Amino acid sequence: MAQTTEQRYRVAPVRSRGREWPFPLNLYQSAVGRKWVMALTGMGLIGFVLIHMVGNLHVYEGPARMYEYAESLRTIGGGLVPEGGVLWLMRLGLLTMFVVHLHSAITLSRMSGNSSEKAGRISGAKKYEGGRDHIAATFASRTMRWTGPIIALFVLFHLADLTWGWWLGGDFVPGDPYHNVAESLGYLPVAIIYVVANIALAWHIFHGAWSMFQSLGVNNPRYNHLRRTLATTLAGLILVGNLSFPILAQAGLIDEDGRMCPVGEVEGNACLAEQGHGAAATGHGTDSTGSVSP
Residue 108 makes contact with other proteins by CB under 8 A: yes
- Within the chain, where are the H helices? 2-9, 26-29, 31-56, 63-74, 85-116, 139-142, 144-158, 177-185, 188-216, 224-251, 270-276
- Is residue 116 within the footprint of other proteins (CB under 8 A)? yes
**What are the two backbone dihedrals, phi and then psi, of residue 77, each rounded to the nearest 5 degrees?**
95, -5
Residues 6+ apart with CB under 8 A from 263: 63, 64, 67, 173, 175, 176, 178, 179, 272, 288, 292
Q: How many CA atoms lie within 13 A of 228 on its CB side?
A: 6
Give min distance, CB of 120 to other proteins, in A: 5
The one segment of 157-165, 213-221, 255-263, 286-294 that binds other proteins by CB under 8 A: 213-221
Task: Kindly give, in sequence order, each residue whose CB lies less than 8 Å from that of residue 149, ignoring residues fewer than 6 positions away.
Answer: none
- Total binding residues toward other proteins, as defined by CB under 8 A: 60
Contact 143, 201 (CB under 8 A): no
Choose one: 81-89, 131-139, 146-154, 263-271; the region binding other proteins (CB under 8 A).
131-139
Stretch that binds other proteins, among 30-38, 70-78, 173-181, 248-256 (CB under 8 A): 30-38
Q: How far is the CB of 216 from other proteins (least distance, A)?
A: 7
In the list 51, 99, 119, 196, the residue contacting other proteins (rule: CB under 8 A) is 119
- The yes or no reply on residue 224 touching other proteins (CB under 8 A) is yes
Considering only 17, 19, 225, 277, the residue that binds other proteins (CB under 8 A) is 17
- Residue 19's CB is within 10 A of a number of other CB atoms, namely 6
Beta carbons of 291 and 261 less than 8 angstroms apart: no
CB of 202 to other proteins, least distance (A): 18
Q: Which stretch binds other proteins (CB under 8 A): 85-93, 217-225, 256-264, 272-280?
A: 217-225
Rounded Cα gap, residues 58 and 276, in angstroms: 13
Residue 216 found at the interface with other proteins (CB under 8 A): yes
Residue of 114, 163, 286, 293 interacting with other proteins (CB under 8 A) = 114
Binding residues for other proteins, rule: CB under 8 A, are: 9-11, 13-17, 23-24, 26-27, 30-36, 108-109, 111-122, 126, 128-138, 141-142, 144, 207, 210-211, 213-219, 221, 224
